[in-house]
Structure 1
Amino acid sequence: MSPLSTDTIQALSHVHAKPDNIRFQYGTAGFRTLGNILDSVLFRTGILAGLRSKKLDGQTIGVMVTASHNPEADNGVKLVDPYGEMLEASWEIYATKLANAPDLISALEDVIRDADIDLSKPSHVVYARDTRPSGPALVAALEDGLKVLNVDARDAGVTTTPILHYLVRAINTKGTKNSYGEDSEQGYFEKMTNAFKKLVAGRPPRDSLLIDCANGVGAKAAVELSEYLGDSLPITLENTDTTTPGVLNNMCGADFVKTTQKLPPSLANKLKPGQRGCSLDGDADRLMYFYLDERGQFRMLDGDKIATLVGSFIGELVKSAGLEDKIKVGSVQTAYANGASTKYLSERLPVRCVSTGVKHLHHAAENFDVGVYFEANGHGTVLFSPATTDRLREYQPSTPAQQTALEHLINLTLLINQAVGDALSDMLLVEVVLAHKNYTGIEWDSLYSDLPNRLVKVVVADRNAFQTEDAERRLVRPEGLQARIEELAHRYEGGRSFVRPSGTEDVVRVYAEAVIRTQADELAFRVAGLVYDTAGGDPARRPKEFL
């Protein structure tokens, strides 16, 4: 085993000193907080990425510097494992340990020993960032960390998170039977758009799609995408300003649309009634569709709507190809999925509910031959198992209709970014289904009606006092609270409510839905009141809506 360059680490640790009295936590989204306090974290993440690559015999690890849908002042960093998936959960502990270690060298030695890492192995890393002003300085700190282990590093520049995930998978599968594509942005765009053009060939021309780029890195990618698409899909790009301070994700983007359930103000006079529109988030891994009805009222088509559209379409294709006995299509949701979407999907596909978080959804989706997963926030994708991909490649259809359906399925495996949720890939997937069904947003929306719902956040002294089971749909602690929640929910038609602790802050999130909007709101606030009282909140500070 080659020794650590302790002198170099010591010197660079002083340059990238850890702030006092701040504890960093690596979670589902990696590290994420104010960009101006992340310098030491990026330096240490560079070292960790090198160690992860060495542990995996030199396979390329990805590093993405982004805070996604968060405000511009935030930033973050996450590692990407060789197949484009999220960092193995056991290594999240190492990431947190290194980020907070007062004695970095001692912590590194612990990680190297515990993970049994051979420092003589090669290490390869590819990294990228979004358009945040703090990005260049944080990348410089990351690069110093990479130098510590003499990592063979590749700078992918300013690009989307899904493209970085694509590059990681493409690099590591190059020259194998599971080759994911050319390891370049050009390879990404060509693979996706070539499949899209084949899938919509012969279909009536589509009306222009308006894309809200959230004033983020998705704007850059969408411009390139439009060049590759040509006439196959007319698109109009809005909110493409990546240089004016403060505009990133501000009053626009997928998170704004989902949380406020209204049109970004900048699109007020640009989206025509009936026209399809969609919003990306700041790093282009979330997607939210919408339209204005004939009265000019805003209508949102979120991740649940995307899952139902896509899942049922793929299920139909599998049946049309004569493969329903050989390929099992299933959908994965969390407790936040609207009950109406769950009912719609359950009548067509097996549906599984898992705990909140992309890593849980992705893992569960891998248990199906074709696994469809989308969070309500618009993050999701479709996974085709390797065995399914082989089966599609080898299958001999017996009719022209089966042949056509088979070709569509094969092209879908190329169109969909299976490494991670990808707003641009998902957008083209939605457009394919709409083209095949000849749907506008109106017909898509009418497949089922969402149950009115409300999400309320309750500040508590200790979120760890709240423990859940059954994919976070039932509370087991504090004792007795679940029964009181169920008793309340039964008072409302279609009433459903669950409570779960936040994974990142001392708050508890309360979700409620019912057939009538006012009842959904009332149920949410009544359950929030129960939580507030149970957590020992100050009655004088009890929000009015709880009363």
Structure 2
Amino acid sequence: MAAKLFGTDGVRGQANSWPMTADVALRLGAAAGGYFRRDKQEHRVVIGKDTRLSGYMIEYALTAGFTSTGMNVFLLGPVPTPAIGYLTHSLRADVGVMISASHNPASDNGIKLFGPDGYKLSDEAEAGIARLLDEGARLAAPEKIGRAKRIEDARGRYVEYAKTTFPHRRRLEGLRIVLDCANGAAYRTAPEVLWELGAEVIPMGVEPDGFNINLDCGSTKPQAAARRVLETRADLGICLDGDADRVVLIDEQGRIADGDQFMGLIATRWAREGRLAGNTLVATVMSNLGLERHLEAQGIALKRTAVGDRYVVEEMRAGGHNLGGEQSGHIVMTDYATTGDGLIGALQFLAAMVETGEKASSLAQVFEPVPQKLINVRFAKGKNPMATDAVQSAVAAAEKLLGGDGRLLVRPSGTEPMIRVMAEALNPGVLDQVMDSVVGAVRQES
């Protein structure tokens, strides 16, 4: 069972179904507690969550598992995922946990684990925890059982830290900002930060009820925020996802800018200022070919990784790079955070607006994207479309048609039962032909 427990971003699934049950969470907490327990007087774990109803169930089950192995638990309540990375390190904890399914619907939930350095766990660490989960963790003696305590000012600690990443003596006065918090983990932190820095904040998605997280809002559904930007004549729109580790920006004309455009802007600015470590940006195979060509023209290298911000971070740490991310809006700036941070990313864009005096529209469209399409195809349980001759033949034919004027990527999702088909081509007609043939083959075999 444990071998299949971890996906590309921890454990994730439908709440109250395997693996997101109270029983698995309890056992996972005990296994993680056993893995991180060291020979010292006190062992600590911090646990945060987003606003899903099932978060209560998972939170209490994890707490029982951790305390049963002698770990003291600090409960943070609803905070963004990056706050867990920050507070795990700040509180000198052995492990950090975020209960969230990120951009997924409220019916799902997940468990993300962080090491004592505030970074997400490596594959090796997850494998070690999985082994302990199968074997059964060693429980603490009665007098060694851990305690649980709520940290009432966890949100405030993160708010104060986030503000330190904005340029000293700069303010956001005169800027009107539409802020969509996806009814998620940042529904209080993000508005507080922007307001305290002087912005006029027009909030959206700040009334979570346990069921409406990511529902027609946030970074995966920015259209409502784009309309609000135009209606209110705002200077910028900021859309976060359910756990606030992603950001999508909207300029004053209502145009949506994804993570590629953001990374293109920051990489260019940092390279010009001598701040871009190794003169390199780390991104995934999903990033647009237009970004790669823009960076090449600026003399900036692009390193590509597998999809998943954890793989981006691993490459950044291995190569000593300080900027990376994903087209979906995970922006990782290790000068400031150990994982993607939507709010801190937005603050860096706002810093560029304040320092240059330019409008969002002139900063958010850095390069002309190569035409790109992404289609997700769900497959039935027990199916493996990628392994069929029909799909492999369709992929081979499509790659031949593209030649050197495009890219094709067909991969299974690491969090859901679906195949993601992405293609880019300079010729829109070729792009349509490629997508029709490959997606059709995948659907036929699903």
From 331, 336, 340, give the equivalent of 1:380.
331
1:254 maps to which residue? 219
> Quick check: 2:178–2:229 contact (8 Å CA) kept in 1?
no
3-state SS of 1:255 partner: coil
The answer to whether 1:277 aligns with 2:237 is yes
In structure 2, distance between residues paired with 1:169 and 1:329 = 28
> Quick check: 1:306–1:374 contact (8 Å CA) kept in 2?
no
From 19, 25, 36, give the equivalent of 1:53.
36
From 38, 41, 47, give the equivalent of 2:24.
41
In structure 2, distance between residues paired with 1:370 and 1:162 = 19
**Letter matched to residue 126 of structure 1:** V
Identity %: 24
5+ residue gaps, structure 2: 95-115, 119-152
1:430 maps to which residue? 349
From 200, 212, 231, give the equivalent of 1:234.
200
From 45, 68, 86, give the equivalent of 1:148.
68
In structure 2, distance between residues paired with 1:57 and 1:302 = 46
> Quick check: 1:24–1:31 contact (8 Å CA) kept in 2?
no
TM-score normalised by the chain length of structure 1: 0.63
**Of the two structures, which has the highest relative contact order with CA contacts closer than 8 Å and spacing of 6 or more?**
2
2:263 maps to which residue? 307
TM-score normalised by the chain length of structure 2: 0.76
3-state SS of 1:192 partner: helix
CA RMSD of aligned residues (A): 3.5
Deviation of 1:459 after TM superposition, in Å, equals 4.5
The 3 A distance-change label for structure 1 pair 476 and 342 is farther
> Quick check: 2:44–2:93 contact (8 Å CA) kept in 1?
no
From 332, 340, 353, give the equivalent of 1:421.
340
> Quick check: 2:258–2:327 contact (8 Å CA) kept in 1?
yes
Query: Over residues 496-547 of structure 1, what are the superposed CA-to-partner deviations in whole Å (9 max), with x where a residue is unaligned?
Result: 32212233444322111233556533431222234456x5x6xxxxxxxxxx
**Letter matched to residue 345 of structure 2:** D
3-state SS of 2:377 partner: strand
The answer to whether 1:371 aligns with 2:322 is yes
> Quick check: 2:379–2:385 contact (8 Å CA) kept in 1?
no
Deviation of 1:266 after TM superposition, in Å, equals 7.5
> Quick check: 1:271–1:277 contact (8 Å CA) kept in 2?
no
> What is the number of residues matched between the two proteins?
387
In structure 2, distance between residues paired with 1:265 and 1:430 = 17
From 277, 290, 305, give the equivalent of 2:250.
290
3-state SS of 1:156 partner: strand
In structure 1, distance between residues paired with 2:75 and 2:168 = 32
3-state SS of 2:255 partner: strand
> Quick check: 1:453–1:521 contact (8 Å CA) kept in 2?
no
From 324, 329, 332, give the equivalent of 2:282.
332
The 3 A distance-change label for structure 1 pair 347 and 263 is farther
The 3 A distance-change label for structure 1 pair 39 and 23 is farther
**Letter matched to residue 189 of structure 1:** V
2:47 maps to which residue? 127
In structure 2, distance between residues paired with 1:522 and 1:241 = 43
> Quick check: 2:182–2:239 contact (8 Å CA) kept in 1?
yes
Q: Name which one, 1 or 2, has greater alpha-carbon Rg.
A: 1
> Quick check: 1:126–1:153 contact (8 Å CA) kept in 2?
yes
In structure 1, distance between residues paired with 2:25 and 2:231 = 40
2:297 maps to which residue? 347
Query: Over residues 28-86 of structure 1, what are the superposed CA-to-partner deviations in whole Å (9 max), with x where a residue is unaligned?
Result: 222222223321122112212311321x556xxxxxxxxxxxxxxxxxxxxxxxxxxxx
Deviation of 1:252 after TM superposition, in Å, equals 0.4
In structure 1, distance between residues paired with 2:389 and 2:92 = 43
3-state SS of 1:344 partner: helix
In structure 2, distance between residues paired with 1:34 and 1:479 = 31
> Quick check: 1:379–1:422 contact (8 Å CA) kept in 2?
yes
